Amino acid sequence: MEQGLHQIWDPVRTAKFQDALLAWYSEHQRALPWRSRPDPYRVWVSEIMLQQTQVQTVLRYFDRFVRRFPDARALAAASEEEVVSLWAGLGYYGRARNLRRAAIEIVRRHGGRFPSRFDEILRLPGVGRYTAGAIASIAFNLPEPIVDGNVRRVVSRLHALERGAPERFFWEQARAWTPAGRAAEFNQAVMELGALVCVPSSPLCLLCPVAAPCEARRRGIEARIPPPRRARAAEEVRLVMLVMEHEEEILLVREREADYIPGRWGLPTRALARGESPARAARALARSFSPEPGALEERGTVRHGVTFRRIAIQVFRGRLARRPRARGGDDGARWTPRAALDALVTSSAFRKAIRCCDGG
């Protein structure tokens, strides 16, 4: 590796970079709802939503979420089902549960006021080094560095790091770049640069405000940095799922074999072994919840994706003339009126199965 590629920029070069980037950001920043009022709570919610989720997707959820839960006290007082229900469609539901857990901690430990120290923010459930730095810098203007995918890509290209670098280097360079007194603007600016200009493929170098010091552009290798990651092969999963009905009620359960489908409540579900008959598996599953499940009708297959899994779900419907007591007790299984399903069934996989049985 060539000498100098892993050297932190000197103050003169850094100052020119900061000035150019901040001037560009003042003219080209996107109008985002959490930027219009960057109080700590709103910044926190937006940063958790933006983890592994694109901005355009988050825009459809953010305003609705903060209207229903305008502060940590409101979020802490809500039930997990209600929080997850409003999160439905964003995926990675552990983020929603951690938000609520963190809100409870903010109320208990900090009197409902969002903590302003980096170390206190970092201790909140679901908050890592990047998220803590983002909240500390954007909401409190503290000179804390941030390194997400966008920042890592900008650093890699400006330093021409074709073969990557130790993780600590990215954080050290980000810290050296972050200006005291303007951390909130700067950290958003460098992320915005990565999102709008220094994009993963075909970077818009002619529009880049910091093209002059870019070592990758000087060498003509900007498109090769960072090197593409190997995509993880998708896992094919086959499931059976039951929609067990009695009049206007549907059986919901808590414990399900496919625990990667989120939600505290869902439809009875189990994975199919290789060569296993879906009808036989569905029948055995139905008997585990009701001693007399009656005839099951195969309604079709729905497709669903969760992280690296491609899921084919064989849906079976059972209509019961009388309402048996669901095995597992009230804590493990419940008969739920259709009118209450939206509040309890948060995963689109379960909703697809219900629509499949309804003919939708």
pLDDT above 60 (res 3): no
Q: At 327, is the pLDDT very low, low, confident or very high (cuts 50, 70, 90)?
A: low
148 and 265: one domain?
Answer: no
What pLDDT is attached to residue 52? 84
What pLDDT is attached to residue 264? 78
Out of 182, 203, 224, pick the residue that ends a domain.
224
Burial class (CB in 10 A: 0-12, 13-18, 19+), 68: middle
What pLDDT is attached to residue 187? 97
What pLDDT is attached to residue 305? 81
pLDDT above 70 (res 60): yes
pLDDT above 70 (res 1): no
CB atoms within 10 A of CB 184: 20
Out of 224, 244, 273, pick the residue that ends a domain.
224
Q: What is the pLDDT of residues 145-172, one digit of tens each?
A: 999 999 999 999 999 998 888 899 999 9
Residue 256: C-alpha distances to residues 52, 332, 350 (Å):
25, 10, 12
Q: At 335, is the pLDDT very low, low, confident or very high (cuts 50, 70, 90)?
A: confident
The residue-averaged pLDDT of 327-347 equals 76
Local structure of 124: helix, strand or coil: coil
Evaluate whether residue 275 is within a structural domain.
Answer: yes
169 and 64: one domain?
Answer: yes
What pLDDT is attached to residue 5? 62
The residue-averaged pLDDT of 300-324 equals 83
Local structure of 102: helix, strand or coil: helix
64 and 207: one domain?
Answer: yes
322 and 185: one domain?
Answer: no
Q: Any idea what the CATH number is for the domain that residue 156 is in?
A: 1.10.340.30
Local structure of 71: helix, strand or coil: coil
The answer to whether 157 and 198 are in contact (CB under 8 A) is yes
Task: Pick the more confident residue, 88 or 11.
Answer: 11
Domain that holds residue 95: 11-224
Q: Which residues are within 8 A (CB) of 102 and not within 5 positions of it... i.e. 6 or more apart? A: 44, 124, 125, 126, 127
Q: At 189, is the pLDDT very low, low, confident or very high (cuts 50, 70, 90)?
A: very high
Q: At 9, is the pLDDT very low, low, confident or very high (cuts 50, 70, 90)?
A: very high
Q: At 235, is the pLDDT very low, low, confident or very high (cuts 50, 70, 90)?
A: confident
Evaluate whether residue 339 is within a structural domain.
Answer: yes
| HEC string for 3-67 | CCCCCCCCHHHHHHHHHHHHHHHHHHCCCCHHHHCCCHHHHHHHHHHHCCCCHHHHHHHHHHHHH
pLDDT above 60 (res 312): yes
40 and 158: one domain?
Answer: yes
108 and 175: one domain?
Answer: yes
Task: Pick the more confident residue, 92 or 102.
Answer: 102
- List active site positions: 47
The residue-averaged pLDDT of 264-276 equals 88
- The CA dihedral of 196, 136, 76, 262, to the nearest 10 degrees, is 40
b or e along 234-265 (b: 16 or more beta carbons within 10 Å of the residue's beta carbon)?
eeebbbbbbbbbbeebbbbbeebebeebbbeb
Q: What is the pLDDT of residues 80-91, one digit of tens each?
A: 888 988 888 887
Evaluate whether residue 219 is within a structural domain.
Answer: yes
> How many domains is the chain partitioned into structurally?
2
Q: Report the chain's mean pLDDT, rounded to a whole number.
A: 89
For the chain, count helices (H), then strands (E): 17, 6
Q: At 331, is the pLDDT very low, low, confident or very high (cuts 50, 70, 90)?
A: low
Burial class (CB in 10 A: 0-12, 13-18, 19+), 308: exposed
Evaluate whether residue 309 is within a structural domain.
Answer: yes
Q: What is the pLDDT of residues 195-220, one digit of tens each?
A: 999 999 889 999 999 999 999 999 99
Evaluate whether residue 326 is within a structural domain.
Answer: yes
Residue 307's Cα: distance from chain center in Å?
A: 10
Angle at 131 between CA 129 and CA 135, to 5 degrees: 120
Q: Which residues are within 8 A (CB) of 212 and not within 5 positions of it... i.e. 6 or more apart? A: 20
Q: What is the pLDDT of residues 24-57, one digit of tens each?
A: 999 999 999 999 999 999 999 999 999 988 899 9
Q: Which helix (H) or strand (E) holds 334?
A: strand 333-337
Evaluate whether residue 229 is within a structural domain.
Answer: no
The residue-averaged pLDDT of 267-284 equals 90
Q: Any idea what the CATH number is for the domain that residue 259 is in?
A: 3.90.79.10
Evaluate whether residue 166 is within a structural domain.
Answer: yes
Out of 195, 224, 253, pick the residue that ends a domain.
224
